[in-house]
Amino acid sequence: MRALVDIPDDMVEKLNALSRERGVSRASLIRAALSRLVDEAQTSDVDAAFGLWRGGEDGLAYQERMRSEW
């Protein structure tokens, strides 16, 4: 996919310097940054849910309490 994105001049200068330093294109740097952003976002959702019930009410006790209300 191609995308048209407005990038501030100072950011473009930093991207130019980084691309020369690493010997890769600006597009490659931007793809890597986007990939990392997406990976971190997906990981943080999993991490946020991990251990959600830890330290709280026991799952079986919760289930029995909910059923007792019927």
Does the pTM surpass 0.75? The reply is no
pLDDT tens track for 2-56: 999 999 999 999 999 999 999 999 999 999 999 999 988 877 777 777 777 777 7
Residue that has been written with the tokens 């990976």 in this structure: 39
The string over 7-29, giving b where at least 16 C-beta atoms fall within 10 Å of a residue's C-beta and e elsewhere, is eeeeeeeebeeebeeeeeeeeeb
Sequence ranges of the domains in the chain: 10-69
